[in-house]
Structure 1
Amino acid sequence: MTVLQHAAESDGPSLAGRLARELRPQFAEPVILVDPSDPVMGGPSCLVAVCDRVGILKGMCSAHRQQWTEAGRPDIAAWAATAPTLRRWLAEPPRCAVASCHRARREAGLCHSHATRWHQAGRPDPERWVAEGGGGPPLPRTAMCRFPECGLDAEGAAELCEHHRSRWTRNGRPPVEAWLADCAMIGLDRFDLRALSMPMRLEVAYAIQRRVDERRTKTRPDQIRRLLRKLPGSGATSLLERSPEDWNAYLGFSSERGSIERRFLLDAIGYLRDLADGGGWDSEYPRDVWLLRRLGYPGRDAVLRFDRIDPLWLRALTKRWARWRLSTGTALATVVADVRAISRFAESFPSLHRGPQALTRELIEAHLAHLAACFPNPKSRTGQIGSLAGLLRAARQHGWEPRLVAQADLYREDYPRLNAGAPRALPESVMAQLECEENLTRFPDPRGRLLVEILMGTGLRVGDGCKLPLDCLVYDGQGAPYLHYVNHKMRRDAFVPIDADLAEEITTQQRAVLAAFPSPAYLLPRATRNLDGKFPFSPGTFRGQLIEWLRLCDIRDELGRPVHVTPHQWRHTFGTRLINNEVPQETVRRLLDHASHQMTAHYARLSDATIRDQWERARKVNIAGQQLATDAGPLAEAVWMKNNLARAKMALPNGYCALPLQQRCEYANACLTCPVFVTTEEFLPQHRRQLQQTRDLIERAEQHGHQRLAEMNRTVETNLLAIIAGLTTCPGDSCGTCSATSCGCTAQPSYDPEINDAV
């Protein structure tokens, strides 16, 4: 039984009756005339100035393009300026030359009756004969010709003037009313549905009306003309009598050919099923496959499938959980993933058909083992486990299924340990290629190129970048520009500063969008199915363009391999660059609009590499003035972490303590006599001041006879002299950190007055 039959036999009005009520007068006619200015059914006008039809080929309507081709394809602009209208013959035909006559001209400039008189008079001079009154009294007036806009008198039973009566006769004398209606539509764009049987005619008209109301997809008569010609020969009276697959097979549609007509047919069937089944939760919730458009979610054919969950009790529980999750604002993609995870769980254990009691802790442990084999990646496995845990937690929290076993639960220990992922920031060598102006100009879509610059310059997520509102630029009191966006993950507005160049590009895009759309909502509107600019650029479309751009520009890494770049890596790169440029982590957190410092710390990991690079470039000496070699080998990273931790916890005013924190210092605060003391050039002023203070102490101790105190300070003085000499003397050829252009050394000991004078 088809949906149409079901609707007809059910209580209430039939589907055909509902269609008739839903159709507005414009679409209830067998022939739907098209206003060329309509954004859905119309389009740009034909280049011929006197033509009102839509220009679909070379800027001309199909009829004028054919005439232009037959004329030898001359210059289009010049030809269009002089081409005649397609409706010229609809004007009033020429009248009889006799002034008192209101009949159509036929022979020698005369109507049939006056031509007969003229012949009977011996065919005298026509001009004088006409001037003398036409050979007799004026002809009696009759009813006016029924042809539209014709003011001549009718002749004969058809009530048409002689001119239009001849045309009607040549067309086979059809019913006059139908013929007049056809004539009135000559030269007008239209959907002619008269060949379709009922109720198919109403169904196609309803689909056209829905397309117009949605204002997303162009639906011109020329686009579905072939479909309308083939439907009558199918023998079907309704589009719902066959499945979409059967229609595609009959019509010969494929993805390569007939895609516009095929899409219209699929949309029409969808509109009819929506009308027959109804929308909203009351009608959709009992179904095992939810059409999300009926629940207010965008997307033509997006669905949420529960039919793969065979245990009926688990299917009902999952549907209730999904509805609750959607009502709380959980992202649709998350709910879809959760339902898929429950479907996979149900497919793995047929024993669940026995009821909720079959869901035991033993079965859950078997499921965990199954997931470990199917999802080696701990992060993917965590998502699968989390979906089942969320369902069980919600069921117990709300009392949805009291028959569940208490021990059937998931615990923290059931989740796999997540490995710390490798840094996702792009290498600077790759970023240099991506930021190259020459490569940016090769991006195929101007919207995509601007989005690339926004993502690289602000660290936005790609979804937030695609949904930037048109008025996304704001300025502070000093005139500095900021990008205003919606952080959809955190569900709040956010601002990020941008430079003047990016602000200028955004301003240019704003002007272009305002010129292209009547009332746009987004800075980067999608190019198709978006007549008013109310829908944003698709992240999926952008990712496809990004892949093609990387291939076109031949972006490669340090090893010469083609690079795969995801939009989110620019966010990691943005945060990493800030951290490595010593921007405070709180500032980075606010720029990235993170909720916690823990997330920002994920971007800060690479800052250690920057500090390590500075540490390795510095010349480090011990208390004897000897330069310390840079740690290398397997323990290099561990040694660096030890030193980095010590610097953070035990920094001294004139150096750093390299003693591990776990050991006790035997030298108390006498660090200058400590063998694990390390210092660098930046502390030279402190060393010189301490050297002078130490000499003053030695002098006073000797004056007062305190030889022990003088002896201890002479050790400090010796170490200070060695340290200063080690920090101010270049080791010449052994210098591994300087060059003739960087440090200016001449491989000779530098002169320090204090040291040389003391020596």
Structure 2
Amino acid sequence: MTLISPAARDALQLWLDGQRALAGASENTITAYRGDVAEFLAFMTEHHGAPQGLAALERIGVADMRAWMAHMRGMGLSARSLARKLSAVKSFYRWLAEREGFEPTAVLSTRAPKFRRKLPRPLAEDAAKKVIETVEHQSQEPWVAARDVAVVTLLYGCGLRISEALGLRGADAPLGRSLRITGKGGKERVVPVLDAARSAVDAYLDLCPHPKEPAAPLFRGVRGGALSPRIIQKVMARTRAQLGLPSTATPHALRHSFATHLLSAGGDLRAIQELLGHASLSTTQAYTAVDTARLMETYDRAHPRA
């Protein structure tokens, strides 16, 4: 951050500290925020030919914002990535304006480029069930096969992120009727545990050669350490190849499938939001679009046009 003035650098760090402590942002989010805002501040230094102190940052105008966005697009940045960077810059400016007492209209009024949001790509219900049935055949070691089945059953049956499933500890087992999960940004939620998921974890624990220790990872690698997400991704890759499923059939697709199938069965959108741990309802609403798209596909198959 050599192109950034000391005052701007200190302000950025204070804002990041607040995002970590008060907003509960994850370290990955903090890293992304730091890079996005630092890149913006460095551009403004080069654009104006001098390091931008706080007083200079207050004078950033519409033309400056247009120049930055044009520069980003000129570097080949996608509309989606630019919208993400602009969101980080706006968040920083809101905080800075409130702290320094200026009006950040030029920055906050800048419109993000339009882009088409990618819809989640869930599996069909029968495909999700076949994945769980087929995963156990990817390893000749019985306890490893049981472990992999337990993980994918939790992803699909409880809607967990892979990091959440692999973050479970020995103290969490045997699983009860519900699990308290700490998700992104330290947000806690309680998810119900299906009998199938509970049974799958029990079967794994019965076969696992490594001792169950309260503070140790619940799911172990072959050598006894924490199970790597990459292992489950490879298992899913072999499973989808065996079943002829598309490359979108990833571990995360099982979480998408959990949400979409709940919605199809009449689940309440707000309840699904809570189960998934989404901070915003708009994120969960993406599954409404998926459900509608699947409905139209079914309609088109049933009523082919002449």
Cα 1:563–1:610 change in 2 (3 A) is closer
From 461, 482, 498, give the equivalent of 2:161. 461
After TM superposition, give the deviation of residue 377 of structure 1 in Å: 3.3
Q: Is the 8 A contact 2:237 2:250 kept in 1?
A: no
Cα 1:632–1:505 change in 2 (3 A) is same
Relative contact order higher in (CA < 8 Å, ≥ 6 apart): 2
Q: Is the 8 A contact 1:473 1:484 kept in 2?
A: no
After TM superposition, give the deviation of residue 367 of structure 1 in Å: 1.0
Q: Which amino acid aligns with 1:436?
A: E
Q: Is the 8 A contact 2:37 2:88 kept in 1?
A: yes
State the partner residue of 2:18: 324
Secondary structure in structure 1 of the residue aligned to 2:160: coil
Cα 1:472–1:583 change in 2 (3 A) is same
After TM superposition, give the deviation of residue 597 of structure 1 in Å: 5.3
From 70, 74, 86, give the equivalent of 1:373. 74
Map residues 706-745 of structure 1 onto 2, 5 A cutoff.
none
* Structure 2 residue 181 is matched with structure 1 residue 486: yes
From 227, 245, 250, give the equivalent of 1:566. 250
Q: Which amino acid aligns with 1:322?
A: L
Cα 1:455–1:312 change in 2 (3 A) is same
Map residues 120-135 of structure 1 onto 2, 5 A cutoff.
none
State the partner residue of 2:65: 364
Q: What TM-score, normalized by structure 2, do the two folds share?
A: 0.75
Q: What is the CA RMSD across the aligned residues, in angstroms?
A: 3.8
State the partner residue of 1:414: 111
Q: What TM-score, normalized by structure 1, do the two folds share?
A: 0.34
After TM superposition, give the deviation of residue 455 of structure 1 in Å: 0.5
Distance in structure 2 (CA, Å) of the matches to 1:331 and 1:368: 26
State the partner residue of 1:435: 132
Q: How far does the alpha carbon of each residue in 1:116-137 deviate from its partner, in whole angstroms, 9 at most, with x for none?
A: xxxxxxxxxxxxxxxxxxxxxx
Q: How far does the alpha carbon of each residue in 1:472-499 deviate from its partner, in whole angstroms, 9 at most, with x for none?
A: 4688xxxxx6241314237223021302
Secondary structure in structure 1 of the residue aligned to 2:138: coil
From 173, 188, 191, give the equivalent of 1:495. 191
After TM superposition, give the deviation of residue 366 of structure 1 in Å: 1.0
Secondary structure in structure 1 of the residue aligned to 2:51: helix
Secondary structure in structure 2 of the residue aligned to 1:441: helix
Q: Is the 8 A contact 2:4 2:51 kept in 1?
A: yes
Q: Which amino acid aligns with 2:14?
A: R
Q: How far does the alpha carbon of each residue in 1:493-525 deviate from its partner, in whole angstroms, 9 at most, with x for none?
A: 3021302x4312222444667962554354225
State the partner residue of 2:28: 333
Q: Is the 8 A contact 2:168 2:218 kept in 1?
A: yes
Q: Is the 8 A contact 2:156 2:254 kept in 1?
A: yes
State the partner residue of 1:664: none
* Structure 2 residue 234 is matched with structure 1 residue 548: yes
Q: Is the 8 A contact 2:16 2:30 kept in 1?
A: yes
Map residues 558-597 of structure 1 onto 2, 5 A cutoff.
563-583=247-267, 585=269, 588-589=272-273, 591-594=275-278
State the partner residue of 2:39: 344
State the partner residue of 1:226: none
State the partner residue of 2:291: 607
Distance in structure 2 (CA, Å) of the matches to 1:408 and 1:611: 43
* Structure 2 residue 305 is matched with structure 1 residue 632: yes
Structure with more helix by fraction: 2
Q: Which amino acid aligns with 2:81?
A: S
After TM superposition, give the deviation of residue 384 of structure 1 in Å: 0.8
Distance in structure 1 (CA, Å) of the matches to 2:266 and 2:104: 51
Structure 2's unaligned 5+ residue stretches are none
Distance in structure 2 (CA, Å) of the matches to 1:601 and 1:313: 41
Q: Is the 8 A contact 1:310 1:353 kept in 2?
A: yes
Say which one has the larger Rg: 1
Q: Which amino acid aligns with 1:462?
A: I
Q: Alignment length, in residue pairs?
A: 294
Cα 1:549–1:308 change in 2 (3 A) is farther
Secondary structure in structure 2 of the residue aligned to 1:524: coil
Map residues 234-273 of structure 1 onto 2, 5 A cutoff.
none
Q: Is the 8 A contact 1:589 1:597 kept in 2?
A: yes
After TM superposition, give the deviation of residue 340 of structure 1 in Å: 0.8
Q: Which amino acid aligns with 1:632?
A: R
After TM superposition, give the deviation of residue 579 of structure 1 in Å: 2.6
Distance in structure 2 (CA, Å) of the matches to 1:522 and 1:321: 33
Distance in structure 1 (CA, Å) of the matches to 2:174 and 2:109: 45
Q: Is the 8 A contact 1:474 1:484 kept in 2?
A: no
Q: Which amino acid aligns with 1:450?
A: A
Q: Which amino acid aligns with 2:30?
A: V
Cα 1:579–1:442 change in 2 (3 A) is same
Distance in structure 1 (CA, Å) of the matches to 2:213 and 2:292: 52
Distance in structure 1 (CA, Å) of the matches to 2:5 and 2:247: 46
Cα 1:347–1:616 change in 2 (3 A) is closer
Paired-residue identity, %: 17
Distance in structure 2 (CA, Å) of the matches to 1:378 and 1:529: 43
After TM superposition, give the deviation of residue 421 of structure 1 in Å: 2.3
Q: How far does the alpha carbon of each residue in 1:249-271 deviate from its partner, in whole angstroms, 9 at most, with x for none?
A: xxxxxxxxxxxxxxxxxxxxxxx
